[in-house]
């Protein structure tokens, strides 16, 4: 026991020493808040497949996969070889590359709603470009989005993603709640917030602004809302409303493109006008993309006499991200998608069995190769149902810390998993076993 304590103490000292250095030069000691953990982050030495080894030699199974962006895990050899080859040819040019064209061909063939595509540098940038293109095409100012949905950090995309009972207002007309202090009132006024999957309330809200809404923005399986799919009925109702009112149906598939071979949109009868992409299409490198109808995408076309949306970006379509991305998506073919989704479903079944054995009020939601654990007896069906109280957030943090420090399991901080093709039944068994132990650990605290 003393030896174990000595190892832990040494481990903490090494990580703390790095974090102390980081705090002197990085705000809060980190460059993205999602990796922060108390009393300090842990630092990576190397990663391969579905395993990450930290600077102390501790190997952990990675079920987060860099917030859903690594569909083939870490350091996939085929991707690595292709990127090394491209690195030797150059990393960025003020010229086009043929592989950019090839990747665009691959994606437009994969999803039939993608008539034209533009590459950018992140999911946030893809959504931002989608919103601005929608405004340019419709000549309308307002954006409608679901309460609680995360669409990146653009002012007009992030409103109400952190709405809570003290400020979210009446469900019949949810408030537009800013995330960042100092957000201009004009931004807030141009956001229309609706309750996800609630057709009657949403249509009533949209009708009040019918002449002003450029696009209705939907994530088909919104992680922050609760990671449950949008219903066919809701998508069709919004699609019909946008046809009637000269608005654009815009899908954010930055996370959800992994759900099916042609994205989550393949599960619906109607298709979006525009789609934002990111994460897995970069093969582990920064990327984003906007795809959709040629007529709408034409607002970006430099050949137009009057260019409605001048668009560029220094690293857009850089050959490193494009090279990694095209390999990743070629490998993530229909067979790979079905296999990964099947493994994820098996994991969900095993975790549901662990919930029964532990006898805890816990439920699961998800789609395709991703799922989320809720500390609720019944799976939530709305953002307000899924909302976590301070007490529940504390309990989730305790569970995640236990998994990370004692079971060597990494999950996303919402208690979610995003699977990669490098995972096998062996890792799934470890996950369900670890969660069973974790559920038993927190069980006594549910009633406190």
The 3-class SS string of 141-174 reads CEEEEECCCCCCCCHHHHCCCCCCCCCCCCCCCC
Specify whether the backbone of 364 is left (phi greater than 0), alpha (psi in -120 to 50) or beta.
beta
Identify the active-site residue in 150, 154, 196, 268: 150
* Annotated catalytic residue 196: no
C-alpha 324/C-alpha 75 separation (Å) is 11
Identify the active-site residue in 132, 142, 145, 279: 279
* Annotated catalytic residue 268: no
* Annotated catalytic residue 279: yes
Asked if residues 112 and 265 have their Cβ atoms less than 8 Å apart, the reply is no
Asked if residues 369 and 340 have their Cβ atoms less than 8 Å apart, the reply is yes
C-alpha 408/C-alpha 425 separation (Å) is 17
8-36: b (≥16 Cβ within 10 Å) or e? eeebeeebeebbeebeeeeeebbeeeebe
DSSP conformation class of 387: P
The per-residue DSSP string of 277-291 comes to EEGGGGTTS--EEEE
Asked if residues 432 and 345 have their Cβ atoms less than 8 Å apart, the reply is no
Burial class of residue 397, CB neighbours in 10 A (0-12, 13-18, 19+):
middle
What 3-state DSSP class applies to 191? strand
The pairing of strands 116-120 and 409-410 is unpaired
Asked if residues 286 and 67 have their Cβ atoms less than 8 Å apart, the reply is no
C-alpha 208/C-alpha 192 separation (Å) is 10
Identify the active-site residue in 190, 198, 219, 252: 252
C-alpha 192/C-alpha 207 separation (Å) is 11
In sequence order, which residues have a C-beta less than 8 Å from that of residue 299 and are 6 or more positions away? 133, 136, 137, 307, 308, 309
Asked if residues 216 and 144 have their Cβ atoms less than 8 Å apart, the reply is yes
Q: Active-site residues: which are they?
A: 150, 252, 279
């Amino acid at each position: 026991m003393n030896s174990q304590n000595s190892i832990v103490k040494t481990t903490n000292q090494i990580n703390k020493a790095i974090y102390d250095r980081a705090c002197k030069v990085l705000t809060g000691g980190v460059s993205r808040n999602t990796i922060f953990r108390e009393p300090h982050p842990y630092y990576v030495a190397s990663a391969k497949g579905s395993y990450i080894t930290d600077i102390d030699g501790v190997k952990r199974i990675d079920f987060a996969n860099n917030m859903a962006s690594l569909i083939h895990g870490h350091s996939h050899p085929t991707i690595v070889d292709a990127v090394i080859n491209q690195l030797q040819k150059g990393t960025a040019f003020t010229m086009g590359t043929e592989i950019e064209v090839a990747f665009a061909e691959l994606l437009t063939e994969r999803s039939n709603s993608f008539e034209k595509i533009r590459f950018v540098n992140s999911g946030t940038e893809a959504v931002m470009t989608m919103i601005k293109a929608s405004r340019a095409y419709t000549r309308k100012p307002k954006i409608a989005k679901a309460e609680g949905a995360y669409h990146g950090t653009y002012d007009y995309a992030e409103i109400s993603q952190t709405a809570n009972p003290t400020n979210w207002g009446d469900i019949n007309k949810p408030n537009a709640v800013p995330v960042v202090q100092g957000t201009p009132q004009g931004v807030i006024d141009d956001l229309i917030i609706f309750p996800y999957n609630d057709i009657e309330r949403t249509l009533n809200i949209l009708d009040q602004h019918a002449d002003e809404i450029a696009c209705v923005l939907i994530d088909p399986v919104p992680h922050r809302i609760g990671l449950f799919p949008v219903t066919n009925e809701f998508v069709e109702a919004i699609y019909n409303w946008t046809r009637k009112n000269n608005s654009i149906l815009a899908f954010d598939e930055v996370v959800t493109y992994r759900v099916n071979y042609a994205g989550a949109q393949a599960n619906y009868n109607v298709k979006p006008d525009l789609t934002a992409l990111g994460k897995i299409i970069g093969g582990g490198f920064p990327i984003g993309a906007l795809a959709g109808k040629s007529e709408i995408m034409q607002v970006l076309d430099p050949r137009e006499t009057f260019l409605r949306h001048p668009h560029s970006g220094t690293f857009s379509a850089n050959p490193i991200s494009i090279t990694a991305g095209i390999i990743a998506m070629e490998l993530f073919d229909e067979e790979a998608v079905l296999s990964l989704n099947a493994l994820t479903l098996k994991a969900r079944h095993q975790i549901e069995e662990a919930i029964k054995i532990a006898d805890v009020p816990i439920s699961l939601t998800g789609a395709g190769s991703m799922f989320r654990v809720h500390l609720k007896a019944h799976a939530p069906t709305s953002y307000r149902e899924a909302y976590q109280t301070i007490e529940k957030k504390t309990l989730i943090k305790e569970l995640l810390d236990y998994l990370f420090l004692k079971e060597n399991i990494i999950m996303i901080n919402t208690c979610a998993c995003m699977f990669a093709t490098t995972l096998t039944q062996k890792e799934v068994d470890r996950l369900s076993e670890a969660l069973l132990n974790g559920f038993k650990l927190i069980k006594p605290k549910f009633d406190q």
